[in-house]
Structure formats: C-alpha cells, structure tokens
Amino acid sequence: MSDYIDHEYMVEVNNLKKYFDIPLGFFRTAKLKAVDDVSFFIRKGETLGLVGESGCGKTTVGRTLLQLYHPTGGQILFNGKELHTKEEIQAFRMKAAMVFQDPYSSLNPRMTVGDIIGEPLDVHHLYKTPEERQARIRELMELVGLSSEHATRYAHEFSGGQRQRIGIGRALAVNPELIVCDEPVSALDVSIQAQIINMFEDLQKKLGLTYLFIAHDILIVRHISDRIAVMYLGKIVETAESEEICDRPLHPYTQSLMSAVPSRDPETSRKSQRIILEGDVPSPLHVPSGCPFRTRCPKAFARCTEEVPLLREVAPNHFASCHLLEPKQE
C-alpha cells in the first residue's frame, strides 16, 4: 500500500488526553474533555489530515502535539523519544512549527515582514552576523513566493494569501521537520487556496517536510493528505489512507460527513443520496455515555449507550471505532 521505504514514525501519539477546567462559579469547575484518549502516528515525509467539525478537538490535538498545551495524560513521541526537560522542548521547537488559521490576527501589525520571519531566528540564535540574518530572511521570503524587497513592509500591506505566505515563511525559519497546519487555507478565497495548497506540496517535496494538516474542508484534506483521521467529540473515530476513507468510509459519522460535502459537479449532485444527520454536536462538557456519536447516529443500538467502542483495524490499514464494525463472535 505504501511507497515509503522508511517506515519510521516521526510522531507517535499514545492515549493523548487534554482536559480543560471550565469555571462554573465559585469553586466549581467542569472538565472539558477536548481530547480524550487519542492515538495516532505520522510517518516521516507524509501528510496526516485531521478533519472534524468545530469543537471536536482537532486544534487542541495540534497544539498539544507542539507542547503548546501540557497534556493531561498520554504520551507523545517525537522521533521515538519523549520530551521531558525544558531543554528537550526547546530543541523540539526548532524541529516543529505551526501555521495558523487566521493570517490577519497571527501576524503582529507593528512588525515588518522581515522581522516577523526573522523572529524565530532571533529566538533560537540561528545567525552569527546581521548580514546572515538578512540573507536568511530573503531566502525564506523567496521560498514562499514573496519578493524579498517587501521585507520592510508591514503585514497590513499584503493580501490574505500573501499574509499566509508570510506565516509559512515564519514557520520555515527554524528549518523544521514537522509543521502543524491549523486550517491554513480556510480564511482564503477559493482561487488563492489552490496557490497555497500547491505551495505546501512543493515545500514538502523540496524540504522533506512532514505535515499534520488540520482542516474542516474534506475536499482540500483529501487532496493534500496521504492519510486522514476523522475526529468527533475528542476522539478519533476513523483513520485510513485518504482515498480509502473518502471512497469507502466505514464509520457512520464519516459516512455522513462525506455525504454532507456538496459535490462540485451538477450531475453527481443531483444523483447523490445525502445522509442528513439529526440534531447538533453535543457539548464537549456533556459527552454522551458510550459511543460519543450515538445521539446522532442513525444506526445506534443498545450497546452503543453502554460501551465505548475502541479504535480497531476493520480492514487492512483502516481503523474505525464502531460496535457495528466488530467481527461477529460466537
């Protein structure tokens, strides 16, 4: 199935948990289980797409992975090693970077583009002379398709697509191996999205990058990812190769998610049968017992209320967590 000779996992996440305390009043808090028992891996040089609806915990997974949040439980292995000390985390920050969703609020309006891209270089002392810093900034700007003459301009002088390029340039400054892209194109116009997606693909080839690509647009995720993981209410419900999961989704949630995506072809749109889910996503403060999807699942039965389904291999390299997909026993 795979054309990767090197099967080394760059990132391995085991039973990751991240709970937030939400104040309810004096001395009362509630646990918000943003990420609850999530395990996945990312191979070197591949793109893992993480999709799900708002509030499903996909951004929290990305941020916890980058040690921006301290995990409540579980294990994150980076190149086979767990990170404990401050020095280890500091070194890890040179290997992993993040591209944010909103190119308007993620760039400091008081800094020039050169300084924004150069800031990681300053923080990690990655240059010896000011000339070296300038040269590196110029190189990075050209790498992301910006003219290096614009280094003295401010972020507001650029369009949305160009700002996203600045954000990507900043992420590349430390020469990372892993980039977590948190909805990097959802704020952009359709015609610009394609430019940025192509650039992500080119940079991956050129620099051998590994991506965790978080997005809610399934068409884009399908295009850019090698494998896709689908999240629902803090849990991964299904993961497989991107074509496999898009063409043959097995979990009822993935099935309805895929069918909800409006087709861009009038003929298929007229023919397609949509599975319309009832109701809304429950609040992550009150996750239903058993399978988190059971309240909206058209196929739910008694066992779903009682038992949490485990993520298991239901087809070769295709994992899903649903009681219906378990092999029949006895």
Partner 1 sequence: MSLLEVNSLKTSFLVRTGEVKAVDGVSFTLEKGKVLGIVGESGSGKSVTAYSILQILSHPGKIIGGSIKLNDEELVGANPSFIQKIRGNKVSIIFQDPMTCLNPVFTIGNQLMEAILLHTSRNKKEARERALEMIRLVGINDPEKRLKQYPHELSGGMRQRIMIAMALACEPDVLIADEPTTALDVTIQAQILELMKKLQKELGMAIIMVTHDLGVIVQMCDEVIVMYAGRICEKGTVDEIFYEPKHEYTKGLIRSIPYGSKKESRLIPISGSPVDVLNLPKGCAFAPRCDKAMKICLEQKCELVSLNQTHSSSCWLNIADLIDKGQIAPDESIVPEDKEGGTANV
- Which residues of this chain interact with partner 1, rule CB under 8 A? 53-54, 159, 161-162, 189-195, 197-198, 201, 216, 218-220, 222-225, 242-243, 246, 256-257, 259-266, 269, 274, 276-277, 280-281
Least Cβ distance, residue 221 to partner 1 (angstroms): 9
CA distance readout (Å), 316 to 2, 95, 118, 157, 329: 12, 32, 45, 50, 19
In the structure encoding, which two tokens stand for residue 188, read together? 């952009």
| Structure token pair of residue 184 | 């990097």
Provide, rounded to whole angstroms, the least separation between the CB of residue 271 and partner 1: 12
CB 109 to partner 1: min, Å: 19
* Smaller CB separation from partner 1, 124 or 216: 216
Q: What tokens appear for 179 in the block?
A: 């980039």
328: which residues sit within 8 A by CB, 6+ positions away?
A: none
Evaluate the CA torsion angle 313, 314, 318, 321 in order and state its sign: negative
Nearer to partner 1, 148 or 259 (CB): 259
Comparison of 79 and 259: residue with beta carbon closer to partner 1: 259
Indicate the residue among 121 and 322 with the shorter CB distance to partner 1.
322
| Least Å from the CB of residue 132 to partner 1 | 31
Toward partner 1, which CB reaches closer, 44 or 223?
A: 223
Least Å distance, CB 145 to partner 1, is 10
Residue 199 CB, shortest distance to partner 1, in Å, is 9
Min dist. Cβ of residue 119 to partner 1 (A) = 25
Nearer to partner 1, 98 or 224 (CB): 224
CA dist., res. 52 & res. 124, Å (int):
34
Nearer to partner 1, 94 or 261 (CB): 261
